Structure 1
Amino acid sequence: MTYRQTKAALHRLLTDGIVPGVSYAFIDQDRVETGVMGNAAVVPQPEVLRPGMVYDVASLTKVVGTLSVTLQLLAQGRLHLTDAVSDWLPEWQDRRVTIRHLLTHTSGICGYIPNRNQLAAPALTQALLKLHVGPTFNRQMVYADVNYIFMGWIVERVLDEPIQLAVQRRVLAPLGMIHSTFMPQQPQVCVPTAVTRERGLIRGEVHDPKGYVLQRRCGSAGLFSTARDLATFCQAYLYPEKVASVLPPTWIHRLTADWTPNGQANRSLGWALTASQWPSAHRVIWHSGFTGTYLVIDQQTRQAMVFLTNRVHPVAPNLPYLDQRNAVIGTYLAEK
C-alpha cells in the first residue's frame, strides 16, 4: 500500500492551513496502514499529533454505533423498516414517519427550537418530539441529526438501555474497539475541537451541542475513537460473516443500494453513496462527521479509508475544508 497521491492530498490540507493535523488509515483486505501528520492543537499552544490519539468522530456515531445496533434489531425481527416511529415513541404524533425514513433522512422532520443549546435534557427531548414534518417528507433526502436522535430513542425502548450504552456493549466491545468510548477518561489523549465562549477549549467532551445536552441518550453524536479502531470497524464491514452477531451480513451486503423512497437520492440506510470506477463501476458507502472525520468503504474491492482531523479547531465551521474533503475522497477512489 502506497497511496502516494492521497497522502500528498492529505499533506496539502496541512500546508494550506485547512486543518491542524490528520490521522489516517488505509485498509486493503486484511492489511492496515496508519499514519499521522501535523498538530493535534494550535491553541493554547501548538501540540504535535501523536499516533493513537482519540478523536470526537461526531456523526460517524450514526453509522458506527446507532445504525449497527439498529441492523442487529432488524435482523432479529425486533424492529422493521415499516414500523411507524409513533409505535415506539408515542410522544411523536405523525404516524406517516417510519424507521426507514429516519435511517435514510427522508422523514422531513424540521422546525426551530428557541435557545436549543441552553435547554436541559428533558426540555430538549420534549422540544424535539414536538417538531413537525415538512414538505420534503418521503420526497427528498435532507440530512438531519434528529433522525438518529429519534432512532437512538427507539433502540432504547427496545433494549431498555440508553443508545450509547447499547453501542458500547453490542458493537465496540465485541469488535475489540478498545480505545473507542463515549466517556473519555483521559482528556489529554483526545484531540481538542473548538474553542467556544461558553465552554472554552473543548477536549475530551463531545463537541456537538445536542450530544452535550443529551449525553448517553444521543444516537447522532458522542463517539470518540482512533484511526486504528475505525480501521477495525471498516474491516468488519468488509468481512461481516466473521462478526455476524455484530454486523448482520444480510443487511451489510445490501447497504450499497439506494434505500430512499424514490431510490434516486444516493442514500442508503445510514450511509451516503458514491461511485468507484475500478475494476468496474459500482457503489461505495461513506459518511462524514462535522468535526472533520469520514469513512469510505468499498465492499466490492474490500478496501477502505479512515480520515480523522479536527477541522473545527480552533474555530468552526471552517467551510473551505468541505471542498477539500470531497477532493481527497475523489483522489482516494481514483488511486485505489
Structure 2
Amino acid sequence: MFNNILTDREERQQVEVPASFTAASAQKLGHQVDSIFTYLHKRRGFNGTVLYTKYDQVIYKGAYGYADFYRKDSLTTQTAFQLASVSKQFTAMAIMMLKEQGELDYDDTVQQYIPSFPYKGVTIRHLLTHRSGLPNYTYFSDELWPDRKKSITNDDVLNLMAEHKPRVFYKPDTHFNYSNTGYFLLASIVEKVSEMSFAAFMHQHIFEPLQMTNTFMFHDLESQTGKVATGHTRARQKRTSDYQDTVLGDKGMFSTVEDLYKWDQALYTQKLVRRETLEEAFRGSRPEEKKDEDYGFGWRIKAVDSGDTVVYHAGLWHGYTTYLLRNPKDHSALIILSNLPNGSLQHLKEVRSFLYPAQPVTIANNEKKQGKAAGAKM
C-alpha cells in the first residue's frame, strides 16, 4: 500500500544541550529518579518499570517488584505490560499514516468507511479528539452483549451499534468527552482502508520498522515467549482476561519501557510521518473549555510547573496502569508501566514537579516585572 521508513526522513529533530548538562549531572539526576521510585515502591506500593530520558539520553531505567505476585517473578525493563489507553497514540499514528498517503481525510465521515454506522456527521477528526458525542462501548456492551464469557471484537461492537443505536451524549463537535468508542472505531477504519487486520497493520508499519521487538497486540499474547506482566487487583490478586480485552484501538497493545523509548525517539524523526503531519497531533482541539489541559490526536496537552508544554497520556485497564509523558523542549520522556493499580501513581504530580520545577523568581526578574507594571499604569 505504501512505503515504510523513507531514507529522506531519517534526519532527527535536534535539541540544544546546555553546557550545564554534563555526564556528572546526568548521573546525579538518574540517582535522584531512582530514589524517588524506590521510595514509591517501598512506601507507596509502586510495582512496575520506569524509564526516564533527557536530551535523548536514557538517564534512568529500573524495575520494581514482581511480574506475577504468585510466582514472585521479578520484573525487568524488558517485561511487557498492557498499555491500556497509552495505546491510543499508536492508533492515531496509524490514521495519520493513512491520511498522509491520501487514503483518507480527517474530515471524512465514519459512514464513508463503515456504511452500517448509524450516526450521521461523525468524522475521523471527531473520533481522534474525543468530540464525537458517542457513548462509551465499555458501558453499553455490558448491557447489550449476551454472553460475557465470549470475547467481543471490534466488528461485534459495530454490529451492536448498528442494531441498537445506543443514545449519543451530544451532537458532534460541541463538547469534549473522553470515550473509548472513538478509538476502537479508528482501528476499524484502519482495517477497512488498509484491507488488513489492525494488528497486522501495526506490526508491519510501526512495530517492525521501529524494531519494537517486544511490542504486540492482545491477540498475540498466547504466542509470546518473552516476559509479560500479569495484571493484578489492588489486593495483588491475579486479574483474568475480560471479554472486552479483544476490542482494539482504544487499548489492547502490550509493550515495554525500552520499546516505548524507541517510539519516543522515532517521533523526533520522520520515519513514520512527516513532521508537519505529526505536529497536528500535538495541537489542541478544545476551544470552548481548555481549562488545565487540551487534547490532540491521542495525546493530552498541558503545561508543567517549568512552563514547558508537554504531551502525555495515562492508561488504566484491568490490572494495569500506564503513563507516557514527552517534553519536546528538552527531549525528555517519563515512561511508567505498572501491573498493580493501587493508587501509587497518584504521586505523579510530585514527580513532574521535581523533573520540571518552576523557575525561581530572581530579584532582577521582580524588578523587571515591577518596571513593566509601572509603565503599564503610566
In the other structure, the counterpart of 2:322 is 293
What does 1:146-185 correspond to in 2, within 5 Å?
146-182=181-217, 183-184=220-221, 185=223
Structure-2 residue corresponding to 1:94 = 119
Residues 121-154 of structure 1, C-alpha deviations (whole Å, 9 max, x = no match): 3543312453332137423322221110000011
State whether structure 2 residue 85 is matched by structure 1 residue 51.
Answer: no
Aligned to 1:141: 176
Q: Which residue of 2 aligns with 1:22?
A: 48
The 3 A distance-change label for structure 1 pair 16 and 131 is farther
Shift of 1:43: 2.9
Tell me the distance in 2 between the aligned counterparts of 1:327 and 1:118. 41
Task: Tell me if the contact between 1:5 and 1:331 (Cα under 8 Å) persists in the aligned partners.
Answer: no
Taking a change above 3 Å as real, the CA distance of residues 45 and 54 of structure 1, as seen in their structure-2 partners, is: same
Contact 1:36 1:49 in 2 (8 A): no
Q: 1:30–1:283: structure 2 CA closer, same or farther, 3 Å change rule? A: closer
SS at match of 1:175: coil
> Residue 235 of structure 1 aligns with which residue?
265
Conserved in 2, the CA contact under 8 Å of 1:66 and 1:163?
no
Q: Which runs of 5+ in 1 are unaligned?
A: 313-317
Alignment of 1:1-336 (within 5 A): 1=26, 2-19=29-46, 21-41=47-67, 43-63=69-89, 65-110=90-135, 112-113=140-141, 114=143, 116=145, 117-118=148-149, 120-121=152-153, 123-129=156-162, 130-135=165-170, 137-182=172-217, 183-184=220-221, 185-186=223-224, 189-194=227-232, 201-202=238-239, 209-212=243-246, 214=247, 218-237=248-267, 239-241=268-270, 243=271, 246-260=272-286, 262=288, 264=290, 266-276=294-304, 278=306, 281-290=307-316, 291-312=320-341, 318=342, 320-321=343-344, 323-334=346-357
CA contact (8 A) 2:129 2:298 kept: yes
Q: Secondary structure at the match of 1:164?
A: helix
For 1:194 and 1:50, how far apart are their aligned partners in 2? Answer: 17
Quote the Cα distance in structure 1 between the aligned partners of 2:192 and 2:332: 35
* TM, length-normalised to structure 2: 0.74
1:77-135 Cα deviation digits (max 9, x unpaired): 22212111111111112222111110011111116231644454354331245333213
Deviation at 1:36, TM superposition (A): 2.1
Q: Deviation of residue 169 (structure 1)?
A: 0.7
Q: What is the number of residues matched between the two proteins?
A: 312
The question of whether the paired residues in 2 share the 8 Å contact of 1:11 and 1:37 is answered with: no
For the residue of structure 2 that corresponds to 1:240, the secondary structure is: coil
Percent of paired sites with the same residue: 21
- Alpha-carbon shift at residue 195 of structure 1 (Å): 5.9
Is the CA contact (8 Å cut-off) linking 2:62 and 2:77 kept in structure 1? Answer: yes
What is the TM-score of this pair, normalised by structure 1? 0.82
Structure 1 residue 286: Cα displacement? 0.3
Code of the residue aligned with 1:124 in structure 2: it is V
Matched-pair contact (CA < 8 Å) for 1:55–1:225: yes
Task: Give the partner amino acid of 2:294.
Answer: N
C-alpha contact (below 8 Å) 2:68/2:230 kept by paired residues: no
**Contact 1:240–1:252 (8 Å) recurs in 2:** no
Residues 309, 44 of structure 1: alpha-carbon distance in 2 compared, 3 angstrom cutoff? same
